[in-house]
A and B are shown apart, each in its own frame.
Chain A
Amino acid sequence: METLSFEEAFMQLEAAVTALQDGKMPLERALQYYQEGMKLAQHCNMLLQQAELSVQQLSTAADGSLSVQQME
């Protein structure tokens, strides 16, 4: 889960909610979805808190090839 992007984690979180809303699965599975969902939500929150804007500058080399460099 640590490697999931915010969008991926959020999508999975939504999927967990939808699955629980169906309410057809056995209790044990439901609990798994619930715990998974809560972890995903925490992961999302963490990503939101830690997010830092990344800015790169695009430039062309003499041979016309493109390169990006981190900007401060």
Chain B
Amino acid sequence: MYLPDALDTPSVVSVSELSHYLKSLLEMDDNLQNIWVQGEVSNCKTYPSGHCYFTLKEGEAQLLCVFFKHSRVRSSAPGLRDGMAIAINGRISYYERDGKLQCYVESVKLLGEGALFQQFEQLKARLAAEGLFDPERKRPLPQQPAVIGIVTSPQAAALQDMLRVLRMRYPLVQVIFSPALVQGAEAPASIATALDLLNEHGEAEVIIVGRGGGSIEELWAFNEEVVARAIARSRIPVISGVGHETDFTIADFVADHRASTPTAAATIAVPNIEDWRVEVQEKQLLLTALMRERIDDLQGQLEYAMQDLRRASPLNLIDQRRQQIDDTVERLQTRMQHMVSLHGERLRGVVERLHALSPLLTIARGYAVVRHDAEQVVVTSIQQVQVGDRLTIQVQDGYIPVEVCQ
């Protein structure tokens, strides 16, 4: 035994010395170094290291337990969960740093379900049979609630967590807080009343009921029938946000939506204002694009109309007419020339024929034309002349005046 002298005398010892003494006291007791203890698992946490910490409860007493990973693996221990009734085998020692007496567990035996767990299962089965958990009962959450009801404790960090999320995500919303006790004997009735009040007030479009994480006992109010009934009769959709990642509470089953924490509940209750900003911006871009498109469209139409107009212009017609005139004039000229040359040809023919018939040619060959001067006719017969008539004989190069003498 260490320090017996020091403890026998009224002298002062340090905390370390006392802790060390307590630790050795416990460790020297063979009964405590290999002992079986039974109780109900509570506040069970397994860390990423693989070490498991829990409290073993029974009646009004509790014992802190540490179940290291190597012991769990070596003993092939089952996964522990709050509410399980178990017997543990291990050694009792004193953890000097925290000033705690605790049991270092070596192995575990299951003793069936714990009392709390049994109570939970019974209520769950009864409410399920009543249809309170039916999927058809689940109501959709409003997309953009203007008013949100919150049921939780005014002191809890959970309230501030939720308000922080709402402020950040969707400050457009109005919060109506209905305070309730969330722990202890009066908690179930208090939560139920707070829910009923929000329904009576009637403005909230969705209600979050929840509290931050804790041991299964601390969260037990959310496993009580009176809370389940209040959620079930709420006319306003209810989101449960009880800070217990792994296990479901009865409230979770009855609620229209279950979130793992109050923060998660606030997150699903409202849209993100950032999404709205983006959406408003998209609408703005769309408006501008549509307007642009519309104007381009009209511009195109105008372009077409102008082309049509140009095609239909009287200037075009004038040009056409002008060309028609040119064409006609040309045709006229061609025709004229044609006719002129045609007539020329003909004339030449006639002249030639005329020429051939000309008496001058006959005269040139030695014939003569005799004209009666007085009668002014060509003499072709002796009957036409009498003695003394004056005649003119035309020869090739002139006229010979003569007188008929016999």
A interface residue numbers (CB < 8 A to B): 5-7, 10, 13-14, 16-17, 20-21, 23, 27, 30-31, 34, 37-38, 41, 44-45, 47-48, 51-60, 66, 68, 71
A33: min CB distance to chain B, Å: 8
A68 CA / B179 CA spacing, docked (Å): 12
A11 CA / B344 CA spacing, docked (Å): 95
Interface residues on B, range: 35 or more
Assuming A30-B291, A37-B283, A45-B280, is B201 touching A54 (CB within 8 A)?
Answer: no
Does B242 belong to the interface (CB within 8 Å)? no
Q: Which chain A residue shows the least CB distance to B177? A: A57
Assuming A21-B290, A31-B291, A53-B163, is B175 touching A13 (CB within 8 A)?
Answer: no
Does B75 belong to the interface (CB within 8 Å)? no
Given A14-B283, A45-B277, A56-B177, list of 6 further CB < 8 A pairs?
Answer: A17-B287, A23-B293, A31-B291, A53-B173, A54-B174, A58-B201
- Select the stretch in B20-28, B77-85, B164-172, B183-191 that faces chain A: B164-172
A56: min CB distance to chain B, Å: 5
Q: Which chain B residue shows the least CB distance to A13? A: B283
Interface residues of B in 55-101 (CB under 8 A from A): none
Of A31, A51, A56, the residue contacting B273 (CB under 8 A) is: A51
23 contacts between A and B (CB under 8 A): A7-B146, A10-B276, A10-B279, A17-B286, A17-B290, A20-B290, A20-B291, A20-B294, A27-B298, A34-B291, A37-B284, A48-B277, A52-B167, A53-B166, A53-B171, A53-B174, A55-B163, A56-B177, A57-B178, A57-B179, A58-B179, A58-B198, A68-B201
Do residues B287 and A58 form an inter-chain contact, with CB atoms below 8 A?
Answer: no
Of all A-B residue pairs in the complex, the 6 with the closest CB atoms, nearest first, are A51-B171, A20-B290, A55-B175, A53-B167, A37-B287, A41-B284
Residues in B neighbouring A51, C-beta threshold 8 A: 171-172, 273
Of B172, B287, B298, the residue contacting A16 (CB under 8 A) is: B287
Does B325 belong to the interface (CB within 8 Å)? no
Does B200 belong to the interface (CB within 8 Å)? yes
Do residues A41 and B294 form an inter-chain contact, with CB atoms below 8 A?
Answer: no
Determine the main DSSP class of A at the interface with B.
helix
Residues in A neighbouring B281, C-beta threshold 8 A: 41
Of B171, B197, B287, the residue contacting A52 (CB under 8 A) is: B171
Do residues B290 and A48 form an inter-chain contact, with CB atoms below 8 A?
Answer: no
Residues in B neighbouring A6, C-beta threshold 8 A: 172, 276
Using an 8 Å CB-CB cutoff, how does the interface string of B190-225 with A read, 1 for contact, 0 for none? 000000011011000000000000000000000000
A13 CA / B337 CA spacing, docked (Å): 81
Residues in A neighbouring B277, C-beta threshold 8 A: 45, 48
A37 CA / B176 CA spacing, docked (Å): 33
Of B163, B197, B279, the residue contacting A58 (CB under 8 A) is: B197
Q: Which chain A residue shows the least CB distance to B194? A: A58
Residues in B neighbouring A34, C-beta threshold 8 A: 287-288, 290-291
Q: Which chain B residue shows the least CB distance to A67? A: B201
Assuming A30-B294, A53-B166, A58-B201, is B287 touching A41 (CB within 8 A)?
Answer: yes
B207: min CB distance to chain A, Å: 11
A23 CA / B293 CA spacing, docked (Å): 10
B92: min CB distance to chain A, Å: 49
Of B176, B280, B290, the residue contacting A68 (CB under 8 A) is: B176
